[in-house]
Chain A
Amino acid sequence: MLGWEFPPFISGGLGTACYGLTRALNDIGHHVIFVLPQSVTTEFTTHVALRTPAAIKGHIPGVTSYRLDEFNNVEFRSVPSTLQAYGPAGPGGVTEVHQHGSSLTSMTDPNAPTTAGVSGSVITGRSTVNASAHYDGDMIGETERYAAIAVALARNEKFDVVHAHDWMTYPAGIAVARAFNKPLVVHVHSTEFDRSGEHVNQRIYDIERRGVHMADKVIAVSHFTRNILLGRYAIAPDRVEVVYNAIDTNGKLPLPSTIRRDEKIVLFLGRITMQKGPEYFLHAARMVLDHVKNVRFVMAGSGDMARSMIELAAELGIGQKVVFTGFLRGHDVERVYKMADIYVMPSVSEPFGIAPLEALSHDVPVIISKQSGVSEILTHVLKVDFWDTREMANKIIAILRHPPLQATLREHGSFEVNRLTWKDAAEGCVQVYGMAIGQYGKRK
Chain B
Amino acid sequence: MASVCFYFQVHQPYRLRRYSVFDTDHNYFDDQKNGEICRKVATKCYLPANQCILDMIRVHEGRFRCAYSITGVALDQFAAYHPEVLDSFKRLADTGCVEFLAETYYHSLSFLYSREEFNAQIELHQQKMMELFGQKSTVFRDTELIYSNDVARAAHELGYKAVIAEGADHLLGYRSPNFVYHPPGLPISVLLKNYRLSDDIAFRFGNRGWAEWPLSTEKFAGWVNQVNGCGYTVNLFMDYETFGEHQWSDTGIFDFLYHLPGAVMSLPDNDFKKPSEVVAAYPPIGEFDAPHLISWADTERDLSAWLGNAMQSNALQELFNLEKAVKAKKDPELLHDWRRLTTSDHFYYMCTKYFADGDVHKYFNPYESPYDSYINFMNVLDNVATRIK
Residues on A facing B (Cβ under 8 Å) = 287, 291, 379-380, 382-383, 390-391, 393-395, 397-398, 401-402, 404-405, 407-409, 411-412, 416
* Cα–Cα, bound, A201→B138 (Å): 76
Among all A-B residue pairs, the 4 with the closest Cβ atoms? A404-B314, A404-B310, A398-B375, A394-B20
Minimum CB distance partner of B375 in chain A: A398
Q: What's the least CB distance linking B357 to chain A, in Å?
A: 9
Q: Is the CB of B378 within 8 A of A416?
A: no
Contact present for A405 and B356 (CB under 8 Å): no
Which among B34-42, B203-211, B366-374 touches the partner chain?
A: B366-374
| Distance from A405 Cβ to chain B, minimum over Cβ atoms (Å) | 6
Let me know if B369 and A379 touch, CB within 8 A. yes
A291: nearest chain-B partner, CB-CB: B21
Q: A379-B356, A383-B369 are in contact. Are A408 and B375 (CB under 8 A)?
A: no
Asked if B379 lies at the interface with its beta carbon under 8 angstroms from chain A, I say yes
Q: Across the two chains, which residue of chain B brings its CB closest to A287? A: B22
Q: For B314, what are the chain A residues with a Cβ–Cβ distance below 8 Å?
A: 402, 404
Alpha-carbon distance A416/B356, docked complex (angstroms): 9
Chain A residues, Cβ within 8 Å of B113: none
Contact A391/B369 with A380-B352, A405-B375 known, Cβ cut-off 8 Å: no
Selected from B20, B310, B368, the residue in CB contact (under 8 A) with A408 is B310
Asked whether, in the complex, the Cβ of B22 is within 8 Å of the Cβ of A404, the reply is no
* Most B C-beta atoms less than 10 A away, residue of A379, A383, A390: A379
B21→A394 contact, CB < 8 A: yes
| Alpha-carbon distance between A382 and B352 when the two chains are bound, in angstroms | 13
B12-40 CB contacts (< 8 Å) to partner A: 20-22
Q: Which B residues from 344 to 361 make CB contacts under 8 A with A?
A: 352, 355-356
Residues of B within 8 Å of A391, CB to CB, are 20
Residues on B with C-beta less than 8 A from A382 are 369, 371-372, 375
Instruction: Check B21–A408 contact: CB distance below 8 A.
Output: no
A401: B residues at CB distance < 8 A: 378
Q: How far is the CB of A433 from chain B (nearest CB, A)?
A: 29
Query: How long is the Cα–Cα vector from A197 to B365 in the complex, in angstroms?
Result: 34
Interface assignment of B309: CB less than 8 Å from any CB of chain A: yes
A401 to B314, CA, bound (A): 12
**Chain A CB within 8 A of B311 CB:** yes
Q: A394-B20, A394-B379, A416-B356 are in contact. Are A405 and B374 (CB under 8 A)?
A: yes
Determine if B355 and A408 form an interchain contact, defined as CB atoms under 8 angstroms apart: no
Chain B residue contacts of A379, Cβ below 8 A: 355-356, 369
Min distance, Cβ B157 to any Cβ of chain A, angstroms: 34
- Contact A398/B369 with A287-B22, A391-B20 known, Cβ cut-off 8 Å: no
A203 to chain B, nearest CB (A): 40
Interface pairs (7), CB distance under 8 Å: A287-B22, A380-B356, A402-B314, A402-B374, A408-B311, A411-B309, A412-B352
Q: How far is the CA of A408 from the CA of B356 in the complex (A)?
A: 14
A398 to B375, CA, bound (A): 6
Assembled-state Cα–Cα distance A405/B312 (Å):
9
Which single residue of chain B is at the shortest CB-CB distance from A410? B310
Give Cα distance in the complex from A194 to B355, angstroms: 30
Kindly report which residue of chain A lies nearest to residue B368, judged by CB atoms.
A383
Interface size, chain B (Cβ < 8 Å): 21
- Tell whether, in the assembled complex, residue B352 and residue A390 are in contact, meaning their CB atoms are under 8 Å apart: no
Closest chain A residue, CB of each to CB of B18: A391
In the complex with contacts A383-B368, A404-B314, A398-B356 CB distance below 8 A: no
Classify the secondary structure of B's interface with A.
Answer: helix
Q: Which residues of A contact B374 (CB under 8 A)?
A: 398, 402, 404-405, 408
**Which of B22, B313, B368 lies in contact with A394, CB distance below 8 A?**
B22
Per the bound structure, the CA–CA distance linking A398 and B19 in Å amounts to 12
* Cα–Cα distance between A409 and B378 once the two chains are bound (Å): 16
Q: Mark B214-236, 1 if CB is under 8 A from A, else 0.
A: 00000000000000000000000
Q: How far is the CA of A397 from the CA of B22 in the complex (A)?
A: 10
The residue in chain B whose Cβ has the minimal distance to the Cβ of A377 is B356
Binary flags per residue of B361-389, CB closer than 8 Å to A gives 1, else 0: 00000001111101100110000000000
Which among A291, A397, A408 is the interface contact of B352 at CB below 8 angstroms? A408
Known: A405-B375, A408-B309. 19 other contacts (CB 8 A): A379-B355, A379-B356, A380-B356, A380-B371, A383-B368, A383-B369, A390-B22, A391-B20, A393-B22, A394-B22, A402-B314, A402-B374, A402-B375, A402-B378, A404-B314, A404-B315, A405-B311, A408-B352, A408-B371
The residues of A that contact B356 with a CB separation of less than 8 Å are 379-380, 416
Residues of A within 8 A of B22 (CB): 287, 390, 393-394
Distance between B316 CB and nearest chain A CB, rounded to angstroms = 11
Q: Which residues 148-174 of B sit at the A interface, judged by CB distance below 8 A?
A: none
Q: Smallest Cβ distance from B18 to chain A, in angstroms? A: 9
Cβ A397 vs Cβ B21 within 8 A: yes
Q: Which residues of A contact B21 (CB under 8 A)?
A: 291, 393-394, 397-398
A293 to B368, CA, bound (A): 29
How many angstroms between the C-alpha atoms of A131 and B22 in the bound complex?
Answer: 41
Residue numbers in B under 8 Å from A397 (CB-CB): 21
Closest to A402 in B: B378
Name the B residues within 8 Å of A412 (CB-CB): 352, 355
CA A216 to CA B368, docked complex, whole Å = 38
Residues in B with CB closer than 8 Å to A405 are: 311, 371, 374-375, 378
Question: Separation in Å of the B378 CB from the closest CB of chain A?
Answer: 6
The distance in angstroms between the C-alpha atoms of A416 and B371, with both chains bound, is: 15
**A372 CB → nearest B CB, Å:** 15
Contact present for B375 and A407 (CB under 8 Å): no
Contact partners of A407 in chain B: CB under 8 A:
310
* Min C-beta distance of A401 to chain B, whole Å: 8
Distance of A291 Cα from B21 Cα, bound (Å): 9
User: Chain A: which residue is nearest B352 at the CB level?
Assistant: A412
The minimal Cβ–Cβ distance linking A395 to chain B, given in whole angstroms, is 6
Q: Which residues of B contact A395 (CB under 8 A)?
A: 375
Partner pick for B371 among A291, A390, A393, A409, CB 8 A cutoff: A409
Contact B378 A398 (CB under 8 A): yes
- Closest chain B residue, CB of each to CB of A409: B371
Residues of A within 8 A of B379 (CB): 394, 398
Chain A residues in 8 Å Cβ range of B310: 404, 407-408, 411
A394 engages B375 (CB within 8 Å): yes
Closest residue of chain B to A398 (Cβ to Cβ) is B375
Name the residue of chain A whose CB is nearest to the CB of B23. Answer: A394
List, in ascending order, chain A residues with CB within 8 A of B315's CB: 404
**CB of B323 to closest CB in A, whole Å:** 19
CB distance from A373 to the nearest CB of B (A): 17
Q: How far is the CB of A36 from chain B (nearest CB, A)?
A: 37
User: Quick one: CB contact mask for B331-350 with A, threshold 8 Å, 1 for yes?
Assistant: 00000000000000000000
Give the docked Cα–Cα distance between A404 and B350 (Å). 12
| Chain B residue nearest in CB terms to A395 | B375
Taking a contact as CB atoms under 8 Å apart, the answer to whether B311 and A404 are in contact is yes
* Assembled-state Cα–Cα distance A395/B18 (Å): 12
In angstroms, Cα B375 to Cα A394, docked, is 8
Cα distance A391–B368 in the bound complex, in angstroms: 13
In the assembled complex, the Cα of A244 lies from the Cα of B248 at a distance in Å of 37
In the complex, A409 Cα to B350 Cα: how many Å?
Answer: 12
State A404–B20 Cα separation when bound (angstroms). 18
Say how far B356's CB is from chain A's closest CB, in angstroms: 5
Contacts of A287 in B (CB 8 A): 22
Q: Given the complex of chains A and B, what is the CA–CA distance between A411 and B355 in angstroms?
A: 14
Measured CB to CB, the closest approach of chain B to A46, in angstroms, equals 42
How far does the alpha carbon of A291 sit from the alpha carbon of B368 in the complex, in Å?
25
Which A residue's beta carbon lies closest to that of B358? A379
List which B292-329 residues lie within 8 A (CB) of chain A.
Answer: 309-311, 313-315
Minimum C-beta distance from B136 to chain A (A)? 41
